[in-house]
A and B are shown apart, each in its own frame.
Chain A
Amino acid sequence: MPKVTILNYELYSALGHTKETIAAIKSGKTGSTFKEVQSLTSYVKTPYFAFAQAIPQVPESIEALLLDMVSKLIVSLSTEERASTVLIIGTSIVDWHLVDAINDTLYEDEKKPYSSQKRSIDSYAQNLAKYFGLNDFTMTINTACTSSANAVLEASNLISSGLYAHAIVLGLELFSPIMSSGFYAMDLIAKEKIRPFDRQRDGLVLGEALGGMVLSKRASPWMLEGGFSNCDSETITSVSQSGEECLFVMNEALKASLLQPNEITAVKAHATGSYSNDIAEMNALSNLFSDSLTFTALKPYIGHTIGASGVTEMVLLMQAIDDGFIPKTLNCEEAIFEAYQPLSSHQPCQGGTFMCNYFGFGGNNTSLIIRKEIR
């Protein structure tokens, strides 16, 4: 796959904006708080990585949040370049336009008049494209935890095939009572904290985040070397514990990038902290890499940001390396495999080649490889 560069990137997480997030990580802070989630019989308090300032769940607030992000990203593109820039969002959030229409139809005594404007989850992308004078090609990808990772791959294809010159890719996830209730109903939420690859891990902790990046062919220190995405799992909710599906995707990502496993500087694992996901990924990693592998998990800092995790965790990793380190993995006291220990302290790093893994619900598995030249 012809190489695509990453010109610019930004993050807004439970720890703040990009620089604030990195500063918090350096000082050992995490953004975890609590949210009340509907259980079978009552509300229960569950750990959650929420934005410092709550975002009201109405389209106008979501649009304002996205507008602020794109304003920061777009400075790397000239006015002329915007016309050949596409916008792709990866998210798993429920379409709030749809909830409005449901409420108007079923619950409101005084219904709002019909709109002549079509609306969908992609309306956000379309409105942003129009506002910033971007190309009219927009799309919103919903493939659960791999949504924005797949958005990066799709954007990369659109650029390297010569159809468009640049792409803005956003990963968005906001607190959703419906999604949180669903994860709780599946008994997937940790009692207190996320413990990636730890023998005592008891589940994931959800979080909200917005990440964005600009992809291009213009020269940049960061490059998307390649990646691979497929749909293959044992059940609709998880891959097999042997990790064979994860191994296949990681191998294909290496092939697409013309790389060997020993050329990978470090792996950013998906590492949700759930029992089955972590054992599957660990089995796959130990099959592909030697036990000298450097790997880490970023979810203990900002939570599992579901559809946003593809972009947000990649941005977090890139900014940390730009700041000279790979973040350590929090809360892993006794690793699943003794020989494979995730980073226990921040590791100095100026660049290299990094694999970013995402394995999600619905069988979608994605592995991306990025590189920063060490100069």
Chain B
Amino acid sequence: MKLYIQNFSTYRSDRDEVNIKATLKKEYHLETRRQSEFIHLAVYGGQLLKDKISIDPSDALYMTSANGDIDVVQRSNTYVNKEKQAIKLFDFINLLGNTSSYYVAKSLGIHGKNIFQISNHFTYIHTLISLYSSLYHSQTNAILCAVDLAPNPEEIAQRVLGIEENTSLVSSVNYQKFSLQSKDAMAVLEFDTRSYTLEEMKTILASNRAKVHGSIRCKALLDNDETSFFETMPSAVLNEAMKQSNDIIYIDCYDEKYKILKLKNLR
């Protein structure tokens, strides 16, 4: 499968110092009331993409995340299960996964398909597969938003991400606009549906010339000195490679199964 990347946007809290809520209000003149920090982060990334490329109202939007908005689940749990109070109205609305994708779509002027989905493993890659099959039929373009907000306290997410206790979490949002057409594309992303064994991966990597990046779960294949983490990191790594005009391979691993993404710059 091939998806052409028309453009991208990226934000990482460990690299960029931005007051996101204030920026949304002052620079983009967007309403931020009644929205959670998770929504602000997702909307902010969308605006960064919109600064670079035109968005068509019929574009599809796919949004994915490791666990969605953990802070709002935490607040709701406290109100209802611990303090025996009613849930706050806008916490309830923000609790639904597609609320964040609604606000992103609204801020981008999109009325097309809008899917909020989570895959426990290969979170980003499975969303790509789903997005590809949708474009195969609709022949429109699609925007993929990969977003993770480090909750407060971080320990909540650390407990469910299967990472080591000393791994620090990063808030990040990364977008790409995809098309099945190569016209005006800045890069092409190749991937497939199959998983590979460790031995198969070794063979693939032995004959590969591009730089290899991978998740911290690929310890059997890669020395990864990354001490920070967010689940949708593949999306950020691809964006960084496009920024540097590098061709790369990205590998992810779960349960001794490997998947592979190949990025080739076209500009």
- A interface residues, Cβ below 8 angstroms from B: 1, 38-40, 92, 94-95, 97-99, 101-107, 114-123, 125-126, 130, 135-144, 150, 154, 157-158, 160-161, 163-164, 177-179, 181-186, 229-233, 236-237, 360-364
8 contacts between A and B (CB under 8 A): A138-B120, A139-B119, A139-B130, A154-B133, A160-B133, A178-B95, A179-B95, A231-B105
Say yes or no: B86 contacts A98, CB within 8 Å: no
In the assembled complex, the Cα of A117 lies from the Cα of B162 at a distance in Å of 5
Q: Judge if B126 is at the interface, Cβ distance under 8 Å.
A: yes
Say yes or no: B68 contacts A142, CB within 8 Å: yes
In the assembled complex, the Cα of A39 lies from the Cα of B84 at a distance in Å of 9
Say yes or no: A141 contacts B93, CB within 8 Å: no
Say yes or no: B158 contacts A114, CB within 8 Å: yes
In the assembled complex, the Cα of A125 lies from the Cα of B105 at a distance in Å of 27
Say yes or no: B120 contacts A122, CB within 8 Å: yes
Query: What are the residues of chain A within 8 A of B68 when measuring CB–CB?
Result: 95, 121, 142
Closest partner residue, chain A, to B127 (CB atom): A139
Known: A104-B159, A140-B118, A185-B87. A98 touches B112 (CB 8 A): no
CB of B256 to closest CB in A, whole Å: 11
Known: A95-B67, A178-B80, A182-B87. A230 touches B97 (CB 8 A): no
Say yes or no: B80 contacts A142, CB within 8 Å: no
Say yes or no: B89 contacts A161, CB within 8 Å: no
Known: A136-B257, A154-B133. A123 touches B120 (CB 8 A): yes
Known: A231-B105, A231-B110. A185 touches B153 (CB 8 A): no
Interchain CB contact (< 8 A) of B119 among A122, A160, A229, A361: A122
Query: What are the residues of chain A within 8 A of B149 when measuring CB–CB?
Result: none
- B interface residues, Cβ below 8 angstroms from A: 1, 61, 66-68, 70, 73-74, 76-82, 84-89, 91-93, 95-99, 101-103, 105-106, 110-122, 126-127, 129-130, 132-134, 136-137, 153, 155-162, 164-165, 193, 195, 231, 254-255, 257
CB of B234 to closest CB in A, whole Å: 14
In the assembled complex, the Cα of A230 lies from the Cα of B110 at a distance in Å of 9
Closest partner residue, chain B, to A236 (CB atom): B102
CB of B141 to closest CB in A, whole Å: 15
In the assembled complex, the Cα of A362 lies from the Cα of B92 at a distance in Å of 12
Count of chain A to chain B residue pairs whose CB atoms are closer than 8 Å in the complex: 228
Query: What are the residues of chain A within 8 A of B231 when measuring CB–CB?
Result: 118
Instruction: Give the one of A38, A102, A178, A186 with max B CB within 10 A.
Output: A102
Say yes or no: B99 contacts A185, CB within 8 Å: no
In the assembled complex, the Cα of A144 lies from the Cα of B164 at a distance in Å of 33
Say yes or no: B116 contacts A143, CB within 8 Å: yes
Query: What are the residues of chain B within 8 A of A122 when measuring CB–CB?
Result: 118-120
Interchain CB contact (< 8 A) of A231 among B78, B82, B111, B153: B111
Say yes or no: A144 contacts B92, CB within 8 Å: no
Say yes or no: B160 contacts A231, CB within 8 Å: no
In the assembled complex, the Cα of A233 lies from the Cα of B103 at a distance in Å of 11
The 5 A-B residue pairs with the shortest CB-CB distance in the complex, in nearest-first order: A182-B92, A231-B114, A142-B97, A118-B162, A362-B98
Query: What are the residues of chain A within 8 A of B97 when measuring CB–CB?
Result: 92, 142-143
CB of A222 to closest CB in B, whole Å: 20
Closest partner residue, chain B, to A366 (CB atom): B113
CB of B241 to closest CB in A, whole Å: 24
Query: What are the residues of chain A within 8 A of B120 when measuring CB–CB?
Result: 118-123, 125-126, 138
Say yes or no: A119 contacts B87, CB within 8 Å: no
Query: What are the residues of chain B within 8 A of A126 when measuring CB–CB?
Result: 119-121
In the assembled complex, the Cα of A95 lies from the Cα of B66 at a distance in Å of 12
Say yes or no: A236 contacts B93, CB within 8 Å: yes
Known: A98-B156, A114-B158, A136-B257. A163 touches B92 (CB 8 A): no
CB of B216 to closest CB in A, whole Å: 11
In the assembled complex, the Cα of A122 lies from the Cα of B111 at a distance in Å of 27
In the assembled complex, the Cα of A23 lies from the Cα of B253 at a distance in Å of 48
In the assembled complex, the Cα of A138 lies from the Cα of B79 at a distance in Å of 32
Query: What are the residues of chain B within 8 A of A95 when measuring CB–CB?
Result: 67-68, 73
In the assembled complex, the Cα of A105 lies from the Cα of B85 at a distance in Å of 21
Query: What are the residues of chain B within 8 A of A157 when measuring CB–CB?
Result: 130, 133-134, 136-137
Known: A95-B67, A158-B130, A185-B86. A102 touches B156 (CB 8 A): yes
CB of A254 to closest CB in B, whole Å: 16
Query: What are the residues of chain A within 8 A of B118 when measuring CB–CB?
Result: 120-122, 139-140, 142
Known: A185-B89, A186-B89, A231-B105. A142 touches B193 (CB 8 A): no
Closest partner residue, chain B, to A184 (CB atom): B86
Known: A158-B130, A185-B88. 8 other contacts (CB 8 A): A94-B73, A114-B159, A115-B159, A144-B98, A157-B134, A163-B132, A362-B99, A364-B102
Interchain CB contact (< 8 A) of A137 among B77, B84, B129: B129
In the assembled complex, the Cα of A361 lies from the Cα of B102 at a distance in Å of 9
Say yes or no: B159 contacts A362, CB within 8 Å: no
In the assembled complex, the Cα of A149 lies from the Cα of B263 at a distance in Å of 33
Query: What are the residues of chain B within 8 A of A237 when measuring CB–CB?
Result: 93
In the assembled complex, the Cα of A229 lies from the Cα of B140 at a distance in Å of 14
Closest partner residue, chain B, to A164 (CB atom): B193
Closest partner residue, chain A, to B111 (CB atom): A232
Known: A125-B120, A143-B114, A231-B113. A120 touches B160 (CB 8 A): yes
Query: What are the residues of chain B within 8 A of A123 when measuring CB–CB?
Result: 120
In the assembled complex, the Cα of A369 lies from the Cα of B127 at a distance in Å of 25
In the assembled complex, the Cα of A40 lies from the Cα of B83 at a distance in Å of 11
CB of A260 to closest CB in B, whole Å: 21
Query: What are the residues of chain B within 8 A of A177 when measuring CB–CB?
Result: 80-81
